[in-house]
Amino acid sequence: MSTVEKQKAQTMYGVEPYVETKGEEYMGEPMKQHFTKLLGAWKRDLMESVDRTVDHMKDEAANFPDPADRASQEEEFALELRNRDRERKLIKKIDKTLEKIKADEYGWCESCGIEIGLRRLEARPTADLCFDCKEIAEKKEKTVGKG
């Protein structure tokens, strides 16, 4: 692994992890700026991926005379479109999270109101539940699914 690859692996979308200073207020201005930068970089990365897909589909679109070749291409395009749809939903969630930062509502659990925690937010910047509440929600989801 090259030095550049090692550096990129330690960052998320080119943004260094946040380093708290002793006694720093949770979700103070420096922390909010960091997560705004992180979410913005993530969104740009997703948008570039969408653009690459559109370009790829335009370049690769062909009318194959062989039905098997045509079916393979259609399946590949369908898979890419499903991935882009997931990314589109994630972009909406990123936008919602950026709005929460602006409204000073970011970083607090929507269920119990406690701090979500810096490390959890670094791992999943769009998290809106603390670890414990997320675990409970997942367990409920599993038991409801078993009906």
Domain-wise residue ranges, the chain: 26-146
* Tokens (6 digits) for 98: 């950026």
Q: Which residue do the tokens 């692996």 mark?
A: 9
Q: Which helix (H) or strand (E) holds 47?
A: helix 29-60
pLDDT band at residue 146 using 50, 70 and 90 as cut-offs = low
What pLDDT shows up at residue 59? Answer: 64
Position with higher pLDDT, 128 vs 146: 128
User: Residue 53: helix, strand or coil by DSSP?
Assistant: helix
Render pLDDT for 12-49 as a digit per residue (tens, 0 to 9): 788 899 989 899 999 999 999 999 999 999 999 998 88
What residues does 115 pair with on adjacent strands?
Answer: 108
133 is in an annotated binding site: yes
**pTM of the full structure:** 0.77
- For 19, how many CA atoms within 13 A lie in the half-sphere containing its CB? 2
109 is in an annotated binding site: yes
Q: Does domain 26-146 have CATH number 1.20.120.910?
A: yes
Q: Which residue do the tokens 């078993």 mark?
A: 146
Report, in this order, helix, strand and coil percent for the chain, each rounded to 5. Answer: 65, 5, 30
Q: Which helix (H) or strand (E) holds 2?
A: none
Q: Which residue do the tokens 């997320």 mark?
A: 134
Render pLDDT for 87-143 as a digit per residue (tens, 0 to 9): 999 999 999 999 999 999 999 999 999 999 999 999 999 999 999 999 999 999 888
Burial (CB < 10 A; 0-12, 13-18, 19+), residue 39, is buried
What pLDDT shows up at residue 60? Answer: 67
Total Cβ atoms within 10 A of residue 10: 9
Q: Which of 61-70, 74-83, 123-132 has the lowest mean pLDDT?
A: 61-70
pLDDT band at residue 8 using 50, 70 and 90 as cut-offs = very low
* Tokens (6 digits) for 83: 């991935």
What pLDDT shows up at residue 4? Answer: 47
What pLDDT shows up at residue 58? Answer: 67
Judge whether 87 and 74 are in contact, CB under 8 Å.
no
